[in-house]
A and B are shown apart, each in its own frame.
Chain A
Amino acid sequence: MVPYAELESFFSGLVATAQSRGITCAITSGMACVHFGVAATTKDCDVLCDAAKSDDFRALIAGTLLRGLSPNYRGHLSPPLDARWMRGGWTSHFTWRTKPEETCLDIFGIAPRGSSPWDRQLHGIYACPNVVAEMKRTNREKDWPFATALGGQMLEEGDLEGWLHLHDADILRRFMKHPAPTERLMGLRPLLGLAPFTDTLRVKRLLLAERAFWSELDELRIRIYQKHLRPYVSAVRRASSGRRDLEVAESHALRLECALEHLPFHPLRDYGLEQMVAEAKANVGVTVGADVVEWLPAAEYNFDGL
């Protein structure tokens, strides 16, 4: 078993090396949460990488051994690490076949739900708390407390953007001792207009609605990508003749061919970003209530880079 400390050092070193070579990239998600003081029990790593530097990053990954093991693309399902698809929000997946469990690396070119350029807000080798918190607004219950914890930290450090990440009624009320949310933030997140958040039941209901909205949006996003992934995975399987030991370069060439045929560059944009938001809001109108829709976030801003 590769100890976690060694894995953390490995991924930190990979990103630090990449940065030293002019590849803008940053660790996000679980390992970033640990760095910022919200412990996550994850051993895999998520990295944001400037799509324009995807070829350089891929070459670096291909040459980076972990305990003498070379990396591979993970299974048949990974899109190629290529700028054309990264810019459309596709994530690429790599693995080192460590035992007893493989070591995985996921690479994003676009921060899901990002409202601002992630590459201009780095904290050393890490994405900033704001980006990490936005990425935690998923369809998984377990992710939401991380966003709230990061938001609270941001406010305690004087960053008012933290108001966008508090998803707990009690925490919202208690943070009124900090500077109140600005008009701009209220525009992005209408629920903040309920400050000082003393109408607890109403706040709780709107928090449920917000969470349902982001969850619907994430589910829709995943469905859109997966619809295209299915034929792609079959094509990669056929093209690789079932081999899972292809080196990155060979696997990459094969995936490029399959991706050109089966993976649109910008599936979310093709679907319609406004359409996605409208659908997610309509679903919340049904599941929670039509009256909450006007309180949902202006999520049109959360597709930065797409």
Chain B
Amino acid sequence: MRDFHVRAFGEELARINFLPEKRRKQAVAEMIDHARSKGVKLTRPALGVTP
């Protein structure tokens, strides 16, 4: 499945996906916080109905 993860999610997320849970969550946290610190907005739009 690793090559599927690379194809679907990219190299970095694929690497993170195969880390042990604790390290995976730390890596996800770093990635999300880094994006947010650069101004990326990750709040979902207010739609009223969640897809």
A209 at interface, CB cutoff 8 A: no
Contact between B46 and A37, CB atoms less than 8 A apart: no
Q: Contacts A140-B51, A152-B4: A1 and B33 contacting too (C-beta < 8 A)? A: yes
- The CA-CA distance from A112 to B51 in the complex, in Å, is 8
Identify the closest chain A residue to B4 (Cβ).
A171
Which residues of the other chain, B, contact A221 by a CB distance below 8 angstroms?
49
Interface pair B32/A170, CB less than 8 Å apart: no
Contacting B49 at CB < 8 Å: which of A38, A41, A226? Answer: A226
CB under 8 Å from chain B, chain A span 6-58:
8, 34-35, 37-44, 46
The contact size tier of chain A is 35 or more
Question: Which residues of B (8-26) have their CB < 8 Å from a CB of A?
Answer: 8-9, 13, 16-18, 21, 24-26
Q: Which residue of chain B has its CB nearest to the CB of A224?
A: B49
Contacts A41-B32, A138-B51, A152-B1 given; does A101 touch B42 at CB 8 Å: yes
Q: Give the complex CA separation of A3 and B34 in angstroms.
A: 10
Give the complex CA separation of A160 and B8 in angstroms: 22
* Shortest CB distance A86–B (Å): 13
Alpha-carbon gap, A5 to B34, bound state (A):
12
Contact B24 A39 (CB under 8 A): yes
Residues in A with CB closer than 8 Å to B9 are: 38-39, 145, 149
Q: Mark B33-51, 1 if CB is under 8 A from A, else 0.
A: 1011100011110111111
Neighbour of A5 across the interface among B29, B46, B47, CB < 8 A: B29
Tell me which residues across on chain A come within 8 A of B47, comparing CB atoms.
Answer: 77, 222
- Shortest beta-carbon distance, B3 to chain A, in Å? 9
* B5 and A43 form a contact (CB under 8 A): no
**A residues near B51, Cβ cutoff 8 Å:** 112, 138-140, 143, 218, 222
B5 near A149: Cβ-Cβ < 8 Å: yes
A4-B49 CB under 8 A given contacts A35-B21, A171-B1: no
Given contacts A4-B29, A149-B8, contact A39 B46 (CB under 8 A): no
The answer for the CA separation of A102 and B44 in the assembled complex, in Å, is 10
Determine whether the beta carbon of B48 is less than 8 Å from that of A5: no
B4 touches A77 (CB 8 A): no
Q: When A41-B35, A145-B9 are in contact, do A8 and B25 touch as well, CB less than 8 Å?
A: yes
The answer for the CA separation of A181 and B33 in the assembled complex, in Å, is 41
| B32: nearest chain-A partner, CB-CB | A4
> Which B residues fall within an 8 A CB radius of A?
1, 4-5, 8-9, 13, 16-18, 21, 24-29, 31-33, 35-37, 41-44, 46-51
8 A–B contacts, CB within 8 A, in A order: A4-B33, A39-B27, A40-B28, A41-B28, A108-B50, A145-B8, A222-B49, A226-B49
List the interface of chain A (C-beta within 8 A of B). Answer: 1, 3-5, 8, 34-35, 37-44, 46, 74-75, 77-79, 91, 93, 101-102, 104, 106, 108, 112, 138-140, 143, 145, 148-149, 152-153, 156, 168, 170-171, 218, 221-222, 225-226, 229, 233
Interface contacts beyond A8-B29, A171-B4: sample of 6 additional A-B pairs, CB < 8 Å, sorted by A: A5-B26, A5-B29, A37-B18, A108-B50, A149-B17, A225-B48
